[in-house]
Structure formats: structure tokens, C-alpha cells
Homo-oligomer: A and B are copies of this chain.
Amino acid sequence: MPAPLRLGLAGLGTVGVGVVQIVQRHADLIAARAGRPVVITAVSARDRSKNRDADLSGYAWETDPVALARRDDVDVFIEVMGGHDGPAKASTEAALAAGKDVVTANKALLAHHGHALALAAESAGRVIRFEAAVAGGIPVIKALTEGLAANRIKRVMGVMNGTCNYILTRMQNAGLPYETVFEEARQLGYLEADPNLDVGGIDAGHKLSLLSAIAFGTQVSFDHVELEGIGNVSIDDINHAAEMGYRIKLLGVAQETGRGLEQRMTPCLVPADSPLGQLQGGTNMVVLEGDAVGQIVLRGAGAGSGPTASAVMADVLDIARGIRLPVFGQPAATLRAPVPAKSATPAPYYLRMALLDKPGALAKIATCLGEAGISIDQMRQINQPGEADDNAVVIFVTHKAAPADIAHAQSQFPATGVLVGQAVAIRIEAV
């Protein structure tokens, strides 16, 4: 049997320990499938004394991940520390410079530096693999890069932050407001140290930007992802949407248009009976649409020790089996600079607003919509317990409208003198 493939593992948190457990538990199975043994030779973490659920006694210890990345007895550097700069970036660069392949779960690192790292890897003849960086255990990078390689990709969508989907489905199922469920999630340990990474849509936006690069052959451009988190999603909107047959999801959508690449990670309404609408709790789902294959839906655990380590080790097995592809599916030097396009694809919109309950109020709003070229598909007035007596809550569902037209109409509402507070507008994505 050929020589073992030797791993250097930087990061011994949940994911790193999961990797150790798989390597130890499935040594025989992995060797049979890879055609060679796969072993860990050295590890690195900040705190050596911490008690971990894994036997590390057989591995060399490095305090500095950069030193780990350069070790002669390491063929593949596994980076599961996290952080988009600092040690993660330094050690990844060091590994490539030292001629190692890299496997990473670090979506932030690649969203910010993916193109530069891919150029560095390819000029060094090395690979960077990142299945674990997007949608945890779901083999979506592989499905997109390889399984759908003969398709022109038309659209990529996904619910890719389990914490946000947990919060939104828990709000709906328990009828609780955002703040309450956010606090629950914090106490359950579901939130990142900086919760805005989750609820601000940043983490999910990182993932979307990586899928976009592969799907559309463009350089990663996280800076151009339109981001809107879930902090403003109200239980009222969740309930009104449900009554009309919709669910609210933090949905990522990327698509090439004639004007450029649209990427957005925003709350959207989706049909309640669609696969995305049915997704409950912390589960992730990615939808890939190709011109030949049609729509492929992938569903699974988006986080957690086992699922994420499964994805890390899938990349390791690919390397052990000699599978070597460009980082984003085609040589980085051939990736186009993205032409970012502000979202302009028309869609129906859900609009909610409170109006002064007086004659002609509705007509004034309808006039604003009409003047913006927006036609109305459904309208309903809600008798909202607790609203001031002289206010009426009104919901519109529009026909397809351009985002700019919706924004224009919204900008005109205050001048009517009948709007109370702010109007809420949420896109309805066809899925």
C-alpha cells in the first residue's frame, strides 16, 4: 500500500476534535476507500491543557499554526481555527508556500481572501479544498463543482445559517418575538461570539460568495453581496406571511443577469409548501439550478462536529485519492472579475404598513404604487389587536416589480401623510 497521507490539524475546537475522531475511528474504512492510510501527525491549538474529547497523545504539538503548516511530516494542512485574518491566513499562506495542500472550513477567510489564496495555491501547484466551509456536511461544493459541471448555472439559492433558520422557525412555531428567541438561541450556545455574524447574515453571505464564484466563474466578491439580517423580521410579518401560504427565510440568491452578478442574502418570503419553505430548525438547504439538470435540492446538517468533520475528511479523501481540481473549479487566473449588479430581478413583494384610518388613505398608497409602475395582486386589511384605534394595518402582495421601483414607492409613502411609522417590504422569491 502507498505511503500514508499525513495531516497537520490546526484548531482543536468542535470541528477539529470531530476530525480526530473520524481519523481514529475509521482508519480501516478510510484506507480501503482512499487506497492508502490517512494519519494525523501533528496538531495545534491555543491551549494545550484544555480537556478535549479525543486522544491526542500520538501527535506532535505545535503552539504556532504557522510552524505546524511548515512541518516536513505534514502533507495536508487542515485549518479549522476560523477568523478571516491572523493565524488562519498566515498559516494557510505558509502551508501553500511550503508545498502543502490545504483543507479548510473557514468561509470568512475564503470570502475575504479566496481569490488571492487560489492564485497562490495554483501557482504553487497545490489545492485548497473547502467543502466544510459551506453548508456543513452537505457535499454542495462537490455537487456544484463536479456534479453539475456540464451545466450553465442559472441560479444558486440557500438557507445556509442554521442559527437564523432556528430563530425564524422557532418564532413561527412558538409565536414568540425576535428578541425572545434571540436570547434563547444565545443561551443554547447557537450564536457566534459576535452574533451579528449569524443574525446579520454575514456568515451566510460568506458562503454564498463562495458558491457564486464556482457557479459563475467569477472571482469571489463577498463585498458585493447585498446583506440584510433577520433582526427586523417581526413575528407579525411571519404570521401574516403564514396566513398567505408563505414562510420567511434568510435566503441567499446568486444569479447572473445581463447587467452583472446579483448576490443577496436577505429575508425573503418563500412558498410554505416548497422544500425551502418546509425547512425547519437548524438544518441547511442549498438549491442549485442548471440549464440541463433543472433544480437540484440538497439538505442536511449545516453545522456541528460530525457533519463539519465529515466534509473536512471528504476533502482529505479526495486528496488522498489523487483528485486535484482548481480551487473554484477552473484556474483562478481564468476567473472573471465580477461585474456586481445591484439586485434588479423583478419579483413579487410583500408590503406591510400602518395607515391612518381615514377616508382616502388606501387610495393615496395605491397611487404611489401605481406611479412607481407596481400593480397589486392581493390586499388585505388586518384588524390588529393592540393597534391604535385610528390606525389600520394593510398588507399588499404586488405583482412582479423591480426592487428599485419598490424602493421608489417606499420613498413616496411618507409624503402621503397617511403612513404611520415605516413600511416593511420583503421580496417573495420564486423557488
Contacts and interface: CB of A to CB of B under 8 A. Distances in A.
B146 A139 contact: yes
Nearest to A316: B150
A139 B142 CA distance: 9
A101 to B, nearest CB: 15
B139 A35 contact: no
Given A26-B150, A142-B146, A147-B131, A330 B33 contact: yes
A150 B325 contact: no
A4 to B, nearest CB: 15
A383 interface: no
A431 interface: no
Interface stretch (A178-186, A306-314, A412-420, A421-429): A306-314
A314 B35 contact: no
A298 B290 CA distance: 15
Contacts of A296: 137-139, 298-300
Given A33-B149, A148-B314, A294 B137 contact: yes
A137 B217 contact: no
A293 interface: yes
A334 interface: yes
Given A298-B296, A298-B298, A299-B296, A330 B150 contact: no
Contact of A146 (B298, B304, B314, B326): B314
Nearest to A290: B310
A26 B151 CA distance: 8
A380 B151 CA distance: 51
Q: Which of A151, A301, A324, A329 has the most CB of B within 10 A?
A: A151
A323 interface: yes
A135 to B, nearest CB: 10
A346 interface: no
A299 B297 contact: yes
B294 A301 contact: yes
A32 B217 contact: yes
A201 interface: no
Given A35-B331, A292-B310, A330-B32, A143 B150 contact: no
Contacts of A298: 296-299
23 contacts: A29-B152, A30-B149, A32-B330, A131-B147, A139-B142, A139-B296, A143-B143, A146-B314, A148-B314, A149-B314, A149-B318, A150-B309, A150-B314, A150-B317, A292-B309, A293-B310, A293-B311, A294-B307, A295-B301, A296-B299, A297-B297, A322-B324, A323-B323
- 8 closest Cβ pairs, A-B complex: A139-B147, A150-B313, A137-B293, A293-B310, A292-B310, A297-B299, A292-B306, A296-B300
Given A35-B330, A147-B314, A293-B307, 11 more contacts: A26-B151, A30-B149, A139-B148, A148-B310, A148-B314, A151-B310, A292-B309, A293-B310, A294-B306, A321-B325, A323-B325
